[in-house]
A and B are shown apart, each in its own frame.
Chain A
Amino acid sequence: MLIDTNVNLGPWPFTPVPDRTGPALAAHLASNGIRRALVSHFGAVFLPEPMPANRKLFAAVRRSPALIPVPVINPALRNWREQLAECRDAAPLRAVKILPNYHRYKLGAAHLVPFMAALADAKLKLILNVRLEDERHKYFALRIKGVPVPELARFLGRFPRHHVLFAGIYKGEVEKLAPNFTNFSAEISFCETTNCLELMLPKFPARRLMLGTCTPLLSTRGEADKLRGARIPARAKTLIGAANARRFFNL
């Protein structure tokens, strides 16, 4: 059984990906061997305030227990406490997601201090989305780069008691951060080279890697096969494929 830590619902404006219902998404993931998934809604990426998309997310996953809602919070907006409160009222939450590059704030911003404290109080995990697309293939008018490694490092140094999951991070970025920080895990959809996991494990422990497919932007089957086809110990596959996510998100 696999747990996918990086899935989205909703349309993406720049490429014709499937806009699935909750049950259709759950069925699609199951057909690729994924039994549970942490799901956000693409609408939250571009809306001026993410709650309309979060409401769609909660409605969509209500009848699909395999889909665990991960609302997007924009802590740069004055109402981030209200966003968080409404999400907590809407469903039992395990985590929230932030998109600093799409929501135009730095990870050194002052508002992140009370935000991180609020997450700790609520016992919520944080997924920090580093990127959603290969920068080379973005829509020509969308000049948004991935969150730079020095920013990620600054964030990890600033909040050493918080363990965060970086989604959409490159292998090289994981390896740059790894020697100095133990308070992060990495989702693997954007980690790729031949024998990727085999090469990563000596530099980064399996207990801090988690399967993610970036469905529907990337091929679910291709990304799941990255783990299935890896020449790594069975124990490491179990950790990356489900056990780490189960432990981290208390599933």
Chain B
Amino acid sequence: MRIIDVHTHPVFGNPADRVHLQRWVDHGRRHDIVHMIVLGDVLLYGATPNAEQLRKINDDTATAARMFPDYFTAFCYLNPLLGERATMAEAERCAAKPGFRGIKLEIANNASHSAMRHVAKAARAFHLPVLQHSWSTVNINDRKHQSDPEDTALFARRFPDVQIIMAHLTGIGFRGVLEAKDCPNLFVDTSGGFPEEGLIEFAVEHLGADRVLYGSDLPIRENSVTIGRILGANISAADRRKLLFTNTARLLKLTLN
């Protein structure tokens, strides 16, 4: 079965050179992953990178997409707290490069922050979906930086014309799925944490199979595990294909041979 991984960080504490990247391409192909979405080395400079640091991270991401255009699609990493001008400028710079098809947000701010309107503006202007790092804050006391699924869902409700991916199904848990349920512009990726039983089925039941995307969080997690939890889930073969391939291909308008 062909697989697209919507949540990877192949440039993660390593240089964006051909040898290193080729290793990840080979790794992915061994797991039937025909395409990866590169989200950048997002914590390289801490939670709130400045404009220059963002450019460096995005340039490394661009290198991956340029060297292996058939294998890597890039997302542009932004820090909304830098303001509208900086956000638009960096999004425009990335959108002009080949291979960029989305925006990535990490932990610069909570997704309910008013600065998110700059991101929404960029997403609309350049027709890019936004992947927002999300995790339940029930046991993580850092709501200033961490976006609870409630916050990411609020972001999606405020900007219903922007397509948003709530990252980390395992991190957002059952409550996160329910937060996303009434937001048709909100998707969930399956990355994050150990392969907790029942979550895939719950997400498909409540969101529909069209709004759940396979993601691994490589190199933090093990692809055989993250794929195995979907292959072993009690869902139909047609739904499995949607999760593992079709949904991301459609959302990002990828045409893969």
Contact = CB atoms under 8 A, between A and B. Distances in A.
Interface in B161-179: 170-171, 173-174
A223 B27 CA distance: 18
A223 B228 contact: yes
Contacts of B30: 231
A62 B224 CA distance: 33
Contacts of B220: 193-194
Contact of A218 (B196, B216, B223): B196
A86 interface: no
Contacts of B27: 194-195
B138 interface: yes
A135 interface: yes
A193 B171 contact: no
Interface string B139-151: 1100000000000
B46 interface: no
Contacts of B196: 15, 134, 137, 217-219
B198 A136 contact: no
B111 to A, nearest CB: 18
Nearest to A225: B228
Contact of B225 (A138, A192, A216): A192
A216 B197 contact: yes
Given A17-B197, A135-B139, A219-B228, A229 B31 contact: yes
A228 interface: yes
Interface in B211-257: 216, 218-229, 231-233
B130 to A, nearest CB: 24
B72 interface: no
A226 B228 contact: yes
A228 B224 contact: yes
Interface in B78-98: none
B187 interface: no
Contacts of B222: 192-196, 226, 229
A229 to B, nearest CB: 3
Contacts of A222: 195, 224-229, 232
A224 interface: yes
B227 A192 contact: no
A217 B171 CA distance: 15
B136 interface: yes
CB-CB nearest 10 A-B residue pairs: A221-B232, A229-B224, A225-B228, A222-B229, A222-B228, A222-B195, A219-B229, A219-B195, A194-B219, A225-B224
Given A216-B197, A222-B195, 16 more contacts: A32-B232, A134-B170, A137-B136, A137-B170, A190-B194, A194-B223, A217-B197, A218-B195, A219-B196, A219-B233, A222-B225, A222-B229, A223-B225, A225-B224, A225-B227, A231-B30
